[in-house]
Amino acid sequence: MKKQLVYKRFNRFWHWTQSALIFFLGLTGFEIHGSLTFFGFENAVHYHNNAAIGFIVLIVFAIFWHFTTGEWKQYLPTAANLREQIAYYLDGIFRNAPHPTQKTALSKLNPLQRLVYLGLKILVIPVMVMSGLLYMYYRYPQSYGIESIRIFDLGTVAVLHTIGAFALVSFVIVHLYLITTGHTITSNLKAMVTGYEELEDEKH
Amino acid sequence: MKKSLIIFSIIAVFLLVAIILQATKPYVPHPVADLKLKYSKKHVPSVDHSKLAALQVKFSTPQQVTEACNSCHTERHKEVMKSSHWNWSREEYIPGRGIRTIGKKNVLNNFCIGTQSNEQSCAKCHIGFGMANPDFSYDDPSYVDCMACHDNSGKYKKATEQGGAPDPSVNLNEIAQHVGQPLRSNCGTCHFYGGGGNNVKHGDLEMSMFDPTKDVDVHMASDGVDLQCTACHVTKNHVMAGKVYSLSSMNRNRSTCEQCHTDRPHTNDVINQHTVKVACQTCHIPVYAKVNATKMSWDWSTAGRLRNGEPYNEEDADGNHAYMSIKGSFVWQKNVEPEYAWFNGTANHYLLGDKVDTNEVIRINSFNGSYEDRDSKIIPVKIHRARQIYDPVTKMLIQPKLFAPEKGDGAFWKDFNWNTAAAAGMKEAHLPYSGQYTFVNTEMYWPINHMVSKKEKSVECTECHTRDNGRLAALKGFYMPGRDYNAGVELFGKVLIVLSLLGVIGHAAVRFAAHKKRK
Ligand code: HEM
């Protein structure tokens, strides 16, 4: 076992800012949606809109980071070990069996994580950003009389945005729990905070 | 680890706070203070009419006053005689029906129904004299009544049922020497009492507005900028901006909030974006009829009950007529929340003689507009609902003859017989009457534009953006955040969250139990 830097500084910054923003966007978003009352409707709209801009800025930086560092390759899906990983969560974990996928600094995601995070990156987040931006700006073509891009039906935009929001809430619930399934209950959390994790020596 | 944890939480908190504090776009709307300054300057007249020789001559008839006015203002009466205030009608283009001359002469309402055959009493609010005279003509300038609108002494009044003549008690010379620009007291004398009593019709225009407080109307408040009607209903050559859609159809020459306030009057741009679809009045007039009740419904079908052969009246708890033998039953309400409608500035009307089916409520006037229509906005309205007389054979709403000086002319208010009143009224309107009548439900829309509240009293976001019973609950066909959602998605979302929670809790429980067992 050796202490290794798994999550570099930007990686951690990005992760924690994103989690705060998604939490905040969810809270304010569902207030707008009418599911809860917390900030007051007007504030919720105001905060949600501003947090969304912050989120988009962060995403731009993150995309840049993923490509310049080559980190994007970590999210390429793989079928290898997929079955074993599922079996682990359904069975092995209860018997204290070893993790089927070895975590290394160059491959820190197991095949299930790869799939889910890729789904977030190329489906859920883009849907949220696109529908969110349309939600914000759909009035402009209308008020300036640009017929070709007039959006008649805010409903479709809003419903897509809502579906994405529910998906994110569900993701967050499961994600929070899965934090505890590392080597020890807190090892994953510690790793994302400090960047370092005790990893088994790579087999060559 | 502790150190980076602290750094990260500080960054995260900092970011969140920055987001929350980040002010909206640095947009500065046109300041209301400028408007206040501009409009609190009082008009200083350039002429003192009490010093004019022509007005010292003793007047014995109101026509002589008009002549005296015209001796200096030589062309003004011609402007007046082109106006709808004089003609009680104007040419309007009604979408789908073409150009029609419409006005009090051929449009019905669901209050006193119509002016046809009732001119004698209606003329109390005509800016002319002598509607009762057999030789009355809309082309005769001597019948123009300048005093009705220009008396600034507050002492002018018209006699009841005398075709528009001044009350015999009026000192014509005194009035003529105290004329000026129209005041609320001039306009209000007619417009506050439309329908035969205070606040019967509009709901947002009534006698408290002779001298309103800021709570009643921020614009006209005597303790505020004290605007007179013509401040907004800007008048040029006796043509006023703004008109009411009980009689108008076209989107022209309107008097709008935006003319002073612009369409981006708020510092918060999200609220400014509302002006694409929501009229200013919708949020800024949360209630109307703030001081005195307005008539919300009128059931003519109960009219005509007599006690010992005599008509009688009954009052409700607030002292408003609840029943009158001559008119039927009424419901009055105070502090009314408006209803809301899409409106693009054009309206349709039931015109005297139109044939309509009674499957649905008959619209006396209807506003055109929809969410899809770019020119439409949501406006607040008073909807006056009535049951009124209708001919099931000709399928026409009936214009009954109501008023006559004596019994025997068929007038309902003297003879209390619907059949003869219907026959006499339709005959004078040159329309057929089958001899059968019934009562049908009708609706008439009155846009609410006055009684603007202080900004602190504006409608709150969640009065509309709320799941149930919001102010706009009745307006369908578009998505409004906070009110609308897709029921399927809602169910899907809830199920997804519950399943995630159950899955996580179940998994954790099994893990915990297995862990215990291993020990
Ligand atoms: C860049 C990303 C995002 C943008 C641009 C965005 C933008 C918006 C906008 C403009 C609205 C409507 C606010 C209004 O009524 O004016 C909205 C509503 C909402 N947002 Fe977002 N949002 C984003 C991300 C998120 C995320 C990450 C979540 C949840 C975790 C979320 C959840 C919601 C919900 C639930 C609503 C209410 C939808 C409705 O009931 O119609 N949003 N969003």
B55 within a domain of the structure (yes/no)? yes
**Alpha-carbon gap, residue B350 to B347, rounded angstroms:** 10
The pLDDT score that the predictor gives to residue A144 is: 61
Looking at the partner chain, which of B24, B273, B486 has a beta carbon nearest the beta carbon of A159? B486
| Cα A48 to ligand 1 centre (Å) | 7
pLDDT of A6 strictly over 60: yes
Helix H or strand E segment including B119: helix B119-122
The answer to whether the Cβ–Cβ distance between A20 and B497 falls below 8 Å is no
Specify the pLDDT at position B31: 82
The neighbour count for residue B36, using CB atoms within 10 Å, is 11
Report the separation in Å between the CA atom of B466 and the middle of ligand 1, taken as the mean of its atom positions.
16
In this complex, do B16 and A143 lie within 8 Å of one another by their Cβ atoms?
Answer: no
Helix (H) / strand (E) element for A143: namely helix A139-143
Contact in structure between A118 and A111 (CB atoms under 8 Å): no
Buried residues in A195-204 as b, exposed as e (16+ CB within 10 A): bebebeeeee
Assess whether the C-beta atom of A120 lies below 6 angstroms from ligand 1.
no
The per-residue pLDDT for B219 is 96
Closest CA to B377 of B265, B257, B458, B486: B257
Residue A167 Cα to ligand 1 midpoint, Å, equals: 13
The two structure tokens encoding residue B17: 């706070």
| Among B489, B511, B518, beta carbon nearest to A93 | B511
Residue A204 has pLDDT above 60, yes or no: no
Which of the residues B5, B16, B480 would you substitute to probe the A interface, choosing the one with the greatest number of A C-beta atoms within 10 Å? B16
Q: Is B508 part of the contact surface with chain A (CB cutoff 8 Å)?
A: yes
Write out the residue range of the structural domain in which residue B179 sits. 51-81+112-193
Domain annotation covers residue B71: yes
Residues 6+ apart with CB under 8 A from B185: B154, B210
The SS3 of residue B484 is: coil
Q: Is B60 within a domain?
A: yes
Residue B124's CB: how many other CB atoms inside 10 A?
22
Report CB contact under 8 Å: A174, B483.
no
**Which residue CA neighbors atom 19 of ligand 1 most closely?**
A29
| Predicted complex ipTM exceeds 0.90 | yes
Report the predicted TM-score, pTM, of the whole model to 2 decimal places: 0.90
- Which of B507, B510, B515 to mutate: most A Cβ within 10 Å? B507
Residue B162 covered by a domain: yes
Token digits for B417? 């017989």
| Second CATH level (architecture) for the domain A2-199 | Up-down Bundle (1.20)
User: Would you call B50 an interface residue with chain A, using a CB distance cutoff of 8 Å?
Assistant: no
**pLDDT surpassing 60 at residue A203:** no
Q: Are B377 and B342 in contact (CB under 8 A)?
A: yes
Which tokens sit at B261?
Answer: 């306030």
CB atoms within 10 A of CB A39: 17
Helix (H, G, I), strand (E, B) or coil at B236: strand
Q: What's the rounded Cα separation, in Å, for the pair A186 and A195?
A: 13
Q: Tell me, what's the pLDDT at B57? A: 93
Whether residues B268 and A46 touch (CB distance < 8 A) is answered with yes
Question: What are the boundaries of each domain within chain A?
Answer: 2-199
Residue B4 touches chain A, beta carbons under 8 Å: yes
By three-state DSSP, how is residue B134 classified? coil
| Nearest residue on chain B to A142, alpha-carbon basis | B374
Query: Would you state the pLDDT for residue B118?
Result: 61
Model pLDDT, residue B24: 44
Interface of B with A in 258-277 (CB under 8 A): 268, 270, 273, 276-277
* Residue of chain B nearest A170, judged by CA positions: B497
Mean pLDDT confidence for A95-111 = 89
Which chain A residues are Cβ-neighbours of B503 within 8 angstroms? 174
Contacts 24+ apart (CB under 8 A), B498-507: B499/A170, B500/A169, B500/A170, B500/A173, B500/A174, B501/A173, B503/A174, B504/A173, B504/A174, B504/A176, B504/A177, B507/A89, B507/A177
By alpha-carbon position, which residue is closest to atom 14 of ligand 1?
A45
Least confident of A23-32, A136-145, A168-177, B265-274: A136-145
Q: Which atom of ligand 1 is nearest to the CA of B465?
A: 15
Contact A24 B16 (CB under 8 A): yes
- Using CB atoms and an 8 Å cut-off, which of residues 133-192 of chain A contact chain B? 139, 142-143, 145, 152-155, 158-159, 162-163, 165-167, 169-170, 173-174, 176-177, 180, 190
Q: What is the pLDDT of residues A159-196, one digit of tens each?
A: 999 999 999 999 999 999 999 998 899 999 999 999 99
Q: How many domains does chain B have?
A: 1
- Phi, psi (5° rounding) for residue A174? -65, -40
Using a CB-CB cut-off of 8 Å, the residues of chain A touching B493 are 162-163, 165-166, 169
The pLDDT assigned to B237 comes to: 94
Quick one: average pLDDT of A91-98? 91
Dihedral sign computed on CA atoms, order A83, A86, A91, A95: positive
Query: Is A48 touching ligand 1 by the criterion CB < 6 Å?
Result: yes
Comparing alpha-carbon positions, the chain A residue that sits nearest to B498 is: A170
Mean pLDDT, 10 residues at a time, over chain B (519 residues)? 67 69 62 88 91 94 94 94 89 85 79 68 82 82 94 92 87 96 94 89 96 96 94 94 88 92 88 92 98 96 94 92 94 97 94 90 94 92 96 95 88 94 93 96 96 96 96 94 96 97 96 90
**Given B19, B485, B514, which is nearest A54 (Cβ)?**
B19
